[in-house]
Amino acid sequence: MAEFDRMAATTVGTQGRAAEIDQGLRAHMMTVYNYLSGGLFVAAGTAYVFGNVPVLAQAVWGSPLKWVVIFAPLALIFFMSFRLQKMSVGAVQATYWVFTLLMGISLSMVFLRFAGDYTPIVQAFGITAVSFLGLSLYGYTTKRSLSGMGSFLLMGLIGLILASIANIFIASSALSFGISVIGVLIFAGLTAYDTQRIKNEYLYYAQAGMAASAELSKAGVMGALGLFLNFVNMFQFILSFMGGSGE
């Protein structure tokens, strides 16, 4: 009887622990998506303002400041990656919001190109949002491990960057179309992959008793950053189908 009681207590304890982890996982993912949605709101709002206020547009794109806007987001990504362990949670959060602001200024070029006809932008954003939600949901719910996709997608991303650089000099419309197709596929795969990675990351910390740690909080911000980049890049490639260069 005593053995049965111990087994029952162990079972109840295990179930309670699993329920606690599951609840914590949902809260963590909600935090990540809140960062993501907030970052997209900041970027979209900033892009619209800088794309529709001539003084601001001229101040950025008509001066050497444009190089800061172009390269600063990349610099911040490297900075956060190398300094993450030494940064406080607040510093990581602040850097994330600065990053989204700079990305918004960079994306203002989209509004400038389309010169007031924002229909393709709205359509591309809608398609991206629906696709992103579906892919992220798949990454969260699938029982299949997507870890094997990581190296493949990274190699594809490197190839995509090299092809994009080459096309600056070649200026091939066929290559541009191919780059857009491959770009959408790569960032679609990364969306599912990163979502599962964020989920597994939380489970690792929770099972190690670190669900409330600063490290997990910072990892959540970095997870939102990765999803933010996936969304923005997918949007830009889809936009190339919807409206081309906007000219």
pLDDT tens track for 132-169: 999 999 999 999 988 888 788 888 888 888 888 887 78
Check residue 3 and give its pLDDT.
55
Tokens matching residue 72: 């600063």
Q: DSSP string spanning 70-86?
A: HHHHHHHHHHHHHHGGG
Q: Provide the pLDDT for residue 1.
A: 54
Q: What is residue 200's predicted lDDT score, i.e. its pLDDT? A: 93
pLDDT score for 16? 61
At residue 94, the pLDDT reads 96
pLDDT score of 241: 78
The CA distance from 242 to 233, in Å, is 14
Token couple for 177 = 């179309």
In this prediction, residue 157 carries a pLDDT of 85
Q: Which residue has the tokens 């995509």?
A: 160
Give the span between the Cα atoms of 208 and 22, in whole angstroms.
Answer: 14
Distance of CA 202 to the CA centre of its chain: 17
Assess contact for 155 and 187: CB atoms under 8 A.
no
User: Which stretches in the chain have pLDDT values below 50?
Assistant: 4-5, 7-12, 245-247
pLDDT score at 158 = 86
Tell me what pLDDT residue 100 has.
97
